[in-house]
Each structure stands twice: as structure tokens, then as C-alpha cells.
Amino acid sequence: MHIEADRELAETARAQHGIFTSQQAVDAGHPKWRIEYRRKCGMWVRLHPNVYAHASTPSTWHRDQMAAVMWAQPAASSARAAAFLHGLPGFDDPPLEILTSCRKIVPRCGVTVHHTARLPQDQTLRVLNIPCTSVERTVLDLCGTVGRRQGAIALDHTLQYGMSTLGSYDFCLFLTARRGRNGCGVLRDLVHERAALSEFPNTPLETVVFEMIAGSTLPAPQCQVPIHDERGAFVARPDFLYPQEKIIIEGHSRLWHTGFELERRDRARFKRLASLGYQTIYVTWADATSSSSLTLMTIERALRDRGWIPSAGGQEVAEIC
């Protein structure tokens, strides 16, 4: 009876954010004529060819993203949509975006479609039961679609919170990289820059500051290195440190540095570090982006004043006194 078919199909749809395919309806016991009849009567809504939802199902981003993936099989959520599902920063309002190996699929109904020659099984998984590219493949795709800055922020977030490792990114590049593929060169450079770090930037601002310095001729600073006083007591854990020159680079955001108590704490910390011979340079988001040249000049001047001499090859040389 169609009541049993409805019950089975409802269970299927419930696990798929309210959507189902025509084949799933047939498997549940609905003949094809009933599918078309219910669509014409308005009981079922066709979201994509062969992809439906009950008319009473609320329209949500997750429902529409799931529908797009089911329509374009074999496919997975990718790039900005996958970044949102993985909880990466900066992708709170993503478009519907998929990656498919089916060349017949073209963009439609607000769905951004990316094509790939192959989508390895170990580069896909399910997040909230929605097929999605892996963390590594997601960051790779971001590097090719939204650019280096957001790709770097996403990469550092996954490294900082244990979602992936540099080795996993290397393996992803091994499986995926080919001449002309967008994002591979960018991700390879980002991984190479972080190979020398024992810790990774904690916040998007720290990533932007690190990228600013890494893209210049200045030496790479150490990241998240604790500083202790002469008695071994902990003093601070700055964002970036040049230990030999005693230069500290701190990302300065309104969120963590605005307010009476926070400003009082920063002043006390600054004085304590200064008493130990450290110079602190605060860098805001604007300093690291629109005013990056001036900020790099400030850092370089401070390094030179503390004895750093750039070599002809662009690597630092410590002055011997």
C-alpha cells in the first residue's frame, strides 16, 4: 500500500534533510505515475531533475545543498559549501557549491558546479550526512577558488585544531596535483612555508600577518614561542617572535584588545616585556593588508636596529659584535 511506501520514503528523506530521489521513491514502492501525479498536485516539489522534497519541508541551506549533491551524482559539497560544513572560519553564508566528475552537469538554479576528472573516495566523507570533500581537498579547492588569503586562514585553522596535518596535505597534493589545476601551487607554497614552524597561527589575523611576512624578504619569525623571565616564570606567549633580536609581532584586533580590563592587561604585559629587553610591534588587520608595505618597513627597521643584516640572497645574517 502507498501508506507503507510513504512511511519508508519519509524515513529516507528524514536522513537526507528532507529530500529524496525518484529512484528512492520507486524503491520505497511508489510507481513512476504516482511521482508525477504528486508533483503536479503540488504534494511534492521537484528541486532538480529526479530530486524531490515534500511540499511541507522547510527550505533550508542544508536541504538545498543536499539536493544539489544528489542531483549531480557522483558529487560532493566543495569549496565554500564544504568549508561551511567543516566549520572553517569566514564561510558563514556560503553559496550552493558542488564538485562532480560528471561532465554533463552544468550550473543551474543558483548551484555553482566544479568539475574534476576523478573524485577519489578517500577525498570525500559525510558531514551532517551531506556528502562533502575532505578537509584537505576542501582547502585545496579554496586555494583555487577564493584565493590565497582565505585558503591560508582555512589551512591554519585545520592545523591548529588538529583537523589535519601537513603530511595529509602533502598526500592530497600527491593524489590530486597536476599541471594547470587551480589551487595546487598555492597550497604547496603554504605547506612549504609552515613546514619550518613548530606551532601554527591561531587566528585569521595571525595568518594574515604571517602571510605578509612570509611573502616579503624578511626572515620568518617563530610562532607561539613562550617567553620566561630570568627566574623561569612565564611572561608571555607572543604571536610571532624573532628571539635573537628580541622583536615581538602581535596581531592586534578589537575583539581581544578593546576594553578597560584588556587594555590594562596589555599595558602591563608590554611593560614587563620591555623590562626584559623585548620590543613589541602591534599589527592590525589594516596594517597587514592595505598598509602592508609600511608595516614591513617598520618591522625591517626594528630588526636592523637590533643587529639583523639582510644577506644578498635574501636570508638574514646576524651581526657579530
Q: In the chain, pLDDT over 90 holds for what percent of residues?
A: 78
- Tell me, yes or no, if the pTM score tops 0.85: yes
The candidate with the shortest Cα–Cα distance to 37, out of 48, 27, 24, 22, is 22
Q: Residues 142-177: pLDDT tens digits?
A: 999 998 999 999 999 999 999 999 999 999 998 887
Q: Residues 116-136: pLDDT tens digits?
A: 887 888 899 999 999 999 999
Q: How big is the chain, counted in residues? A: 321
Q: Residues 35-87: pLDDT tens digits?
A: 999 999 999 999 999 999 999 999 999 999 999 999 999 999 999 999 999 99
Pairwise pLDDT comparison (103 vs 266), residue with the higher score: 103
Q: Residues 253-265: pLDDT tens digits?
A: 765 555 556 667 8
pLDDT at 320: 38
Mean of the pLDDT values across residues 4-31? 95
